[in-house]
């Protein structure tokens, strides 16, 4: 299940993301409407969490556009305690639920589950690319029918690749997604090399093709072409 979180308080954004990732959701983050717009143009999401009181634009507008272009997504509005108007407008415009700050992450979680249930998603979430498939609930990776065992970082890396298949991923982008807390280590990316190598080795050992292509000087791309 793929979730887009639109929230300008970066701390809250990160903590929501960490929490939902632990709940086996795949999260993408946007701390401004501009970034949200970019993501919304490219991907489809199952759930969109929208802080309607962001400083840089009109949340109601964004919601309207979401309902138009991402019809399948469930939308949960995050709003400050007093902005009751927004709540009502939001629900009128077709948001599926709302939650007021501050909230417990567990409450957010149960609301997401409820929305998904109402939308009648089947719950399991399996991503596939040719002979490789990843089950995000059991965190298992199957290659040619048999499971391979990955460490956390290897799994995160592979998932990030599969979600972004056929797109160039710079080392910086990878580092940001996998090590979001400490981005300031940016002088060297040696650690990526190591994990990448381990991941490639394990995929190779299981008979999977070498989908992780190196683009010299640019980054990497997960593709069969």
Partner DNA sequence: GGGTATCTTTAGAATTCCTTTAGAATTGAT
Partner DNA sequence: ATCAATTCTAAAGGAATTCTAAAGATACCC
**Residues interacting with its own copies, by CB under 8 A?**
19, 22-24, 97, 104, 106-107, 109-111, 114, 118, 137-140, 147, 151-152, 155, 166-168, 170, 172-173, 176, 180, 183, 215-219, 221, 223, 225
Return the structure tokens found at 27: 């999260």
Residue 73: Cβ within 10 Å count? 21
Q: Shortest Cβ distance from residue 16 to DNA (Å)?
A: 19
Residue nearer to DNA on the CB measure, 110 or 151: 151
Return the structure tokens found at 109: 């979680």
List Cβ neighbours of 150 (8 Å cut-off, separation of 6 or more).
Answer: 141, 158, 199, 202
List Cβ neighbours of 173 (8 Å cut-off, separation of 6 or more).
Answer: 219
- 190 lies in the site for DNA, by CB under 7 A: yes
- 46 lies in the site for DNA, by CB under 7 A: no
Return the structure tokens found at 13: 């954004």
- 24 lies in the site for DNA, by CB under 7 A: no
Return the structure tokens found at 3: 């979730």
- 76 lies in the site for DNA, by CB under 7 A: no
Residues in touch with DNA (CB under 7 A): 84, 149, 151-154, 171, 179, 185, 188, 190-191, 193-198, 200-201, 214-219
């Amino acid at each position: 299940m793929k979730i887009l979180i639109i929230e300008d308080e970066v701390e809250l954004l990160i903590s929501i993301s960490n929490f939902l990732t632990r709940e086996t959701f795949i999260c993408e983050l946007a701390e401004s409407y501009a970034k949200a717009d970019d993501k919304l143009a490219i991907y489809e999401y199952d759930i969109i969490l929208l802080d309607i009181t962001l400083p840089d634009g009109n949340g109601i507008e964004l919601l309207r556009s979401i309902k138009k272009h991402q019809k399948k997504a469930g939308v949960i509005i995050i709003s400050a305690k007093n902005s009751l108007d927004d709540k009502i407008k939001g629900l009128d415009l077709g948001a599926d639920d709302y939650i007021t700050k501050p909230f417990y992450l567990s409450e957010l979680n149960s609301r997401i589950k409820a929305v998904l249930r109402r939308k009648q998603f089947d719950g399991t979430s399996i991503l596939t690319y040719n002979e490789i498939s990843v089950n995000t609930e059991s965190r298992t990776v199957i290659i040619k029918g048999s499971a391979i065992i990955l460490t956390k970082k290897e799994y995160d890396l592979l998932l990030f690749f599969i979600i972004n298949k056929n797109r160039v991923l710079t080392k910086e982008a990878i580092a940001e997604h996998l090590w979001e807390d400490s981005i300031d280590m940016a002088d060297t990316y040696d650690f990526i090399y190591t994990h990448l190598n381990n991941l490639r080795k394990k995929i190779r050992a299981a008979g999977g093709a070498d989908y992780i292509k190196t683009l010299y000087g640019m980054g990497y791309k997960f593709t069969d072409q």
